[in-house]
C-alpha cells in the first residue's frame, strides 16, 4: 500500500490523499461501505461501484464464523469470493470483544447515549466474554459454543481473507469503563499490537494499528505515542469516543498530533455527515459505518440536511421525490408515497431503494468534501 498526500488545506488539517493497493487506488477522505457478511446489505457490487465507492470494509469476526476463512481462501480470497475486485479493508474482530461483551452488557454504543446518572442497570444483559492479556474467550453468536480469539489468530484469519488493508487486534472499551480498566485494556491493546506486527507474514497487505485509551486524555496520548512508534502502515482511532460529540473531537485533538503526517488515519465506526466533516478538519482520512445501511432497513432516508422516515403516514399521498436534489435512480423515479407503500408492504425493493439512496448520498457527500478541500473551503 502507498499513501500520497495530493493536497493539504490551508485553513484546517484536512487533506486529500490517494491510497494505492494491489487491487486499485482510491481517493481520501473516503467512506467505506460496510460489507459485514461480505455483502453491502441488499446491493450488488456493480451498484456499489456505480454509486461511486472504490473501497469497502468487511468484518473479520463475522466471516470467520460464516462461511469461515478456509472456504474463502479456497476461492482465492475475499475479492474473488464476493466478486469485488477493488480495495478491501478488514477490521480485526476487536470491536466484537466490545459489542459482544461490555457493549451488550451495558447496552451502549461507541459514543454514550445514556449519560451516567440515568439508570442503566435495567439494560444489563449478559457478559459473554473473558479477556486476558493472551486471549479473549467468548460465545459464538451463532450457536453459543465457546471460542477463543488471539491477536495471532486475528492476523491469520485476515491473511486468509486477503484484504488489502488489515487491522491489529484491539480491545474496544465501553464508554462506561473507568480509567483503571481502560488503562488495562489499552496496555493489552499495545501488547497485542506488537504481537500482530510479529505474526503478519504477507507482504501484499498493509497493517494498521489501533489507538485506544477511551475518553482519558493521558491514556489517549500514551496510546497514540506508543502505537505511532510501531512500524504500522496506517492508524485507526478506536474504542470509546466519550460521552458526547465534544468528547469525540477532544479525543481527536489529543491523538492526531502524535501520528505521522504521511500515514493514513481511520476513525473507526463513525459515519454521520456532520461528524465526518468535522473529523476531516482534524486530519482524518478514512471512515466506515453501518449507519447508512442500518437506517435504510428502518425506512430512514438520509441527506446532509435532513432525515426522512418514510413510514410516517404523512407520506401516504406525497407525490414528491424523497429528495428532489438527489440524482439517484430512486429519487429520480419514485414518489414518497410509493416508497411509503413499499415499506408498509414490507417489499424488499423499499429496503434496496433506501440503501441505494443512503449510500449514494454518502458518496456524493464525500465527493463534496474532497472538492471543498481542493477549492480551499474546508
Ligand atoms: Zn436519492
Note the pLDDT tens digit of each residue in 299-350: 999 999 999 999 999 999 999 999 999 999 999 999 999 999 999 999 999 9
Comparing C-alpha atoms, which of 51, 30, 40 is closest to residue 165? 30
CA gap 236, 356 in Å, rounded: 27
318 alpha carbon to ligand 1 midpoint, in Å? 16
**pLDDT for 4-28, tens place per residue?**
999 999 999 999 999 999 999 999 9
331 alpha carbon to ligand 1 midpoint, in Å? 4
3-state secondary structure 170-216: CCCCCCCCCHHHHHHHHHHHHHHHHHHHHHCCCCCCEEEEEECCCCC
58 alpha carbon to ligand 1 midpoint, in Å? 24
CA gap 268, 289 in Å, rounded: 8
The answer to whether 29 and 369 have CB atoms below 8 angstroms apart is yes
- List CB contacts of 33: < 8 A, sequence separation 6 or more: 40, 48, 53, 56, 57, 288, 292, 293, 359, 362
* Given 91, 160, 164, 275, the catalytic residue: 91
Asked whether residue 195 carries a pLDDT value surpassing 50, the answer given is: yes
Please tell me the pTM assigned to this model: 0.94
- Catalytic, 325? Answer no
The answer to whether 9 and 15 have CB atoms below 8 angstroms apart is yes
Confidence of residue 110 (pLDDT cuts 50, 70, 90): low
361 alpha carbon to ligand 1 midpoint, in Å? 7
What would the grid cell of residue 334 be? 419514485
Asked whether residue 253 carries a pLDDT value surpassing 50, the answer given is: yes
CA gap 258, 213 in Å, rounded: 14
Confidence of residue 113 (pLDDT cuts 50, 70, 90): very low
Mark out the alpha helices in 25-131 (DSSP H runs): 45-51, 60-65, 69-74, 78-82, 94-97, 103-106
- Catalytic, 91? Answer yes
Question: Which stretches does DSSP call E strand in the chain?
Answer: 2-8, 15-21, 24-28, 30-35, 56-58, 88-90, 129-131, 136-139, 146-149, 165-167, 206-211, 234-237, 265-267, 286-289, 300-302, 307-309
323 alpha carbon to ligand 1 midpoint, in Å? 6
Q: What is the pLDDT of residue 109?
A: 58
CA gap 7, 280 in Å, rounded: 13
- How many residues in total does the chain contain? 378
* Given 119, 288, 318, 372, the catalytic residue: 288
CA gap 161, 76 in Å, rounded: 9
Q: What is the pLDDT of residue 118?
A: 41
315 alpha carbon to ligand 1 midpoint, in Å? 16
Q: What is the mean pLDDT of the chain?
A: 91
What would the grid cell of residue 44 be? 450488488
What would the grid cell of residue 98 be? 466490545
How many other CB atoms are there within 10 angstroms of residue 227's CB atom?
Answer: 27
**pLDDT for 146-170, tens place per residue?**
888 899 999 999 999 999 999 999 9
CA-to-CA separations, 305 to 276, 323, 376, in angstroms, rounded: 14, 10, 22
CA 358 to the chain's CA centroid? 16
What would the grid cell of residue 297 be? 432497513
Amino acid at each position: 500500500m502507498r499513501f500520497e498526500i495530493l493536497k493539504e488545506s490551508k485553513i484546517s488539517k484536512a487533506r486529500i490523499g490517494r491510497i494505492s493497493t494491489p487491487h486499485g487506488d482510491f481517493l481520501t477522505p473516503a467512506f467505506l461501505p460496510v460489507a459485514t457478511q461480505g455483502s453491502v446489505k441488499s446491493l450488488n457490487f456493480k451498484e456499489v461501484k456505480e454509486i461511486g465507492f472504490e473501497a469497502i470494509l468487511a468484518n473479520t469476526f463475522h466471516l470467520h464464523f460464516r462461511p469461515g476463512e478456509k472456504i474463502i481462501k479456497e476461492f482465492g480470497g475475499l475479492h474473488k469470493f464476493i466478486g469485488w475486485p477493488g480495495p478491501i479493508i478488514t477490521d480485526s474482530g476487536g470491536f466484537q470483544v466490545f459489542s459482544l461483551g461490555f457493549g451488550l452488557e451495558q447496552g451502549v454504543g461507541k459514543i454514550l447515549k445514556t449519560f451516567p446518572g440515568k439508570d442503566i442497570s435495567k439494560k444489563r444483559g449478559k457478559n459473554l466474554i473473558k479477556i486476558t492479556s493472551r486471549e479473549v474467550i467468548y460465545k459464538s453468536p451463532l450457536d453459543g459454543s465457546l471460542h477463543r480469539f488471539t491477536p495471532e489468530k486475528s492476523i491469520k484469519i485476515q491473511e486468509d481473507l486477503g484484504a488489502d488493508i488489515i487491522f491489529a487486534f484491539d480491545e474496544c472499551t465501553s464508554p462506561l469503563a473507568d480509567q483503571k480498566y481502560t488503562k488495562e485494556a489499552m496496555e493489552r491493546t499495545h501488547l497485542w499490537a506488537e504481537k500482530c506486527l510479529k505474526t503478519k507474514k504477507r507482504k501484499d497487505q498493509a497493517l494498521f494499528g489501533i489507538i485506544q485509551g477511551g475518553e482519558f486524555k493521558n491514556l489517549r496520548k500514551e496510546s497514540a505515542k506508543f502505537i505511532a512508534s510501531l512500524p504500522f502502515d496506517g492508524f485507526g482511532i478506536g474504542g470509546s469516543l466519550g460521552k458526547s460529540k465534544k468528547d469525540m473531537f477532544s479525543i481527536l485533538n489529543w491523538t492526531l498530533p502524535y501520528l505521522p503526517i504521511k500515514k493514513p488515519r481511520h476513525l473507526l465506526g463513525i459515519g454521520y455527515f456532520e461528524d465526518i466533516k468535522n473529523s476531516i478538519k482534524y486530519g482524518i482520512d478514512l471512515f466506515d459505518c453501518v449507519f447508512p445501511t442500518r437506517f435504510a432497513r428502518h425506512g430512514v432516508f438520509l441527506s446532509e440536511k435532513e432525515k426522512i422516515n418514510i413510514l410516517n403516514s404523512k407520506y401516504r399521498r406525497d407525490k414528491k421525490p424523497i429528495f428532489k436534489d438527489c440524482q439517484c435512480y430512486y429519487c429520480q423515479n419514485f414518489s414518497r408515497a410509493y416508497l411509503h407503500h413499499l415499506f408498509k408492504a414490507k417489499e424488499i425493493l423499499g429496503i434496496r431503494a433506501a440503501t441505494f439512496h443512503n449510500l449514494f448520498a454518502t458518496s456524493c457527500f464525500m465527493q463534496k468534501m474532497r472538492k471543498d478541500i481542493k477549492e480551499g473551503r474546508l
